[in-house]
Amino acid sequence: MVTPDSSAVTSTTPVMEPLSSPSIGEVIAGKLLMLIVFLMMCIGIVIVYSSGAGWAETKYASSEYFLWRQLTFAVVGCFTVLLVAQIDYHVFWKTSKIILFASIILLTLLLLLKVVGIISGAARWIGFGPIKFQVSDFAKYAIIFHFSRLITEKQSYIKDLHNSYYPLLTHLMTVVALVALEPNFSTASLIAIIGFTLMFIGGVNVRYLATTFSLLLPIAAVFAIAAPYRVARLLSFFSGNEKGLSYQVVQALIGLGNGGLFGLGIGASKQRDLYLPLSYNDFVFVVIGEEYGFVGAVAVITLFAGFFICGIIIAKHAPDSFGRYVASGITIAISLFAFINIAVACHLLPTTGVALPFISYGGTALLFNSLGVGILMSISRYKKKQLQKNATPDVVDGMTQQGSVA
């Protein structure tokens, strides 16, 4: 057995790698990431208004209800990105334990409120009045932060079973189980994928990961078929004929087909009001495909591909291991949610309630994703800030010496 390095366990800050001037690729990736996110937020405002006006008129007596809320959250999201980008991302190293513990407390509280009857149905949201947020979004980032710290601390013995893999697996399965019991099987599965991916990137023994996966797969399968609505979705997905498809899938495919190459035009979707449920959220990509056609759909996919590439570049050039894992985790999380949403809309995966990042209607998801982008920007800019900070005393000393000579 490998003996843990005590100095690594008690470390309060990650070991910094020698700083070098940011490359052109790093600078471009950071700026391009900001542009991509801004464009996706703008697309989200337009599409949410287009797809949700009819629903808003019916439910809230105002066709602009979703528009103003999405616009407000997009503006707050932009300020969140700019604000977090100025913060040293190592603050999440220092607070990762607290953040993870808080997420577990909140997830447990949700289940307790459900048990005593205060919350009925799915226990996913917590808060008072209009100020609510989905705890699983918070838990997702808690896993990313704390896993990045633990993998960095345990790097010298990362392949050890008892001192490395078991602690990581325990943290991950605790969060995944609590989210799954809400119930929110799709988000729990995605959090598990994010956690296992970080462990793989961090160098955890692949044999341990494969063994765990083989054990969890049948458990997940039993959990998936335990609820009738999940069974119906699976049967619909694997159905070989149109009659076996669910209503949502049929309407989504019709909407994508209506769009053709260039789409029906802004606000001209036929599926959004009468046929397609949650057209402003889970199936917002269908409205994009119907109103802007194949060209518009490919443009959105290209934006997410660009986001993924920029995030990977930032992760690759991060100034330390912690930044590298955090950037990788955030990039994978946002890109994975986007892939699932688009795949469901195109009937490539079974129907599940996963929103399209930055575009689907929803405030807290947009703000948490904006937090993630702000952290990516903080990691991207860290080298430049530190080099400027280190150069400042030399400039001051040089000016002082010149003044004394004069």
DSSP letter string, 235-294 = HHHT-SSGGGS-HHHHHHHHHHHHHTTT-S-TT--SSTTTT-TTTTTTTHHHHHHHHHHH
The predicted pLDDT at position 16 comes to 67
More reliable by pLDDT, 244 or 299: 299
The Cα 282–Cα 273 span in angstroms is 14
The predicted pLDDT at position 234 comes to 80
CA 45, 49, 53: angle at the middle one, nearest 5?
A: 165
Domain ranges of the chain: 20-385
pLDDT in tens, 341-398: 999 999 888 888 789 999 998 888 999 999 999 999 999 998 777 777 777 555 445 5
More reliable by pLDDT, 230 or 406: 230
Residue 334: which pLDDT band, with cuts at 50, 70 and 90? Answer: very high
Whether residue 121 has pLDDT greater than 60: yes
The predicted pLDDT at position 399 comes to 46
CA 202, 204, 209: angle at the middle one, nearest 5?
A: 125
The predicted pLDDT at position 245 comes to 66
More reliable by pLDDT, 123 or 45: 45
The predicted pLDDT at position 351 comes to 82
The predicted pLDDT at position 396 comes to 46
**Alpha carbon 82 to chain centroid distance?**
18
Tokens 């289940």 map to which residue? 111
The predicted pLDDT at position 363 comes to 83
For the segment 80-89, the average pLDDT, to the nearest whole number, is 95
**Structural tokens at position 120:** 């009925």
118 CB contacts (<8 Å, ≥6 apart)?
Answer: none
The predicted pLDDT at position 400 comes to 46
Tokens 């407000």 map to which residue? 72
The predicted pLDDT at position 392 comes to 59
Long-range contacts of 244-251 (CB under 8 A, 24+ apart): 245/347, 246/351, 247/277, 248/276, 248/277, 248/283, 248/351, 249/347, 249/351, 251/275, 251/276, 251/277, 251/286
- Single pTM value for the model: 0.90
Per-residue HEC secondary structure of 307-334 comes to: HHHHHHHHHHCCCEHHHHHHHHHHHHHH
